[in-house]
Structure 1
């Protein structure tokens, strides 16, 4: 499995090392218990070296969260655009999203559990990205209802349920379990299609 910060994009080597170190520190100690000295030590830098690239540990948390959400959004957009039908699109979205949350469970946990520690401005920016992710899935569900492939009464609630299922993988996943991220993704793809009643046309 790749290291936690491999889930997000890097700009140069040092900022990437700092993001990776921050992800590991936040996962091990929590945001409040982590100091910039902890992060610098893990990255092989002096504490002052952190501030050359990031103004605070909160900015590190924000960058991890922002880039993680951008990766997830782009991944789901690619899954949806590469599918030939809403059913295929939803299967790809659920499979990839659940797999991603298993492969990058540490970053995903940080994003979910440390969200309240972002500044109001940074929370708003991340929430905007979450709305974009939600919109990708909602559009696929809406298209599936329109085509008759899905039987859904409440598209927003169903979209929320689908995303919640996949995100929750990060909470319980452990590398020691026997199921691989790919197997989890395949299972959640099937579960997602069951939730929208794929292939179960209503009687007229």
Structure 2
């Protein structure tokens, strides 16, 4: 059975609505944002949202799903299992921190509006969040096993390492003193110190 691709105009319209939703959710919060706000931000009619999405919540879910898939892809791209654990950890934590700075508006929505998702959608995103933690936790475990990390609680340490990157989206601004790349380097250094890798 062949998959029918949506026409390019429909894809472009959905993309405009999603970009507008990110800005609206980041500025006003999910609850205070209306579908009219989203449509206005996309320079479309108020009914346009419902042509492409069943609800405002579905818009948030699409953003959250895409955001968390990008986190997983980022880890895959940054992690080289052939390298020593300290190098792997620095690469992954640095890449995640830089990403949360570069895409701070989208990342803020993706990470801080989870409670606005339906139970079903929250569970689906939860699966991906657990997978992000599992992949970083695997690196922490590898460092402990090889004796190069000094960690008492691997799970709590993994949570701390991930929380540092996520929090970047909350406070980062383009007018700040550090670029996304510098933030990535700084957090990579901090991650190495946290696990006792120097």
1:130 aligns with 2:134: no
Q: Distance in 2 between matches of 1:58 and 1:24?
A: 15
Q: Structure 2 length normalisation: TM-score?
A: 0.91
Question: Paired residue for 2:16?
Answer: 17
Task: Give a deviation string over 1:110-142, Cα, whole Å, max 9, x none.
Answer: 123221111000110111110010011000010
- Number of residues paired by the alignment? 189
Change (3 A) 1:39 1:143: same
Contact kept? 1:109, 1:171, Cα under 8 Å: yes
Would you identify which runs of 4 or more consecutive aligned residues in structure 1 move more than 2 Å?
none
* CA–CA separation in structure 2 for the residues paired with 1:57 and 1:110: 14
Tell me the CA shift for residue 82 of structure 1: 6.3
Residue 160 (structure 2) pairs with residue 161 (structure 1): yes
Please give the alpha-carbon distance, in whole angstroms, between the structure 1 residues aligned to 2:137 and 2:81.
16
Runs of 5+ unmatched residues, structure 2: 1-9
Kept in 2, the 8 Å contact 1:80–1:136? The answer is no
Q: Secondary structure at the match of 1:12?
A: helix
Tell me which residue corresponds to 1:39.
38
Distance 2:165 2:148 in 1: 21
Structure 1: state its 5+ residue gaps: 1-10, 200-204
2:47 alignment partner, SS class: helix
1:180 aligned residue: 179
CA distance in 1, matches of 2:165, 2:158: 11
Q: Please, what is the CA RMSD of the aligned residues?
A: 1.4
Residue 83 of structure 1, CA deviation: 5.6
Distance 1:82 1:143, change over 3 A: closer
| Alpha-carbon distance, 1:144 to partner | 0.9
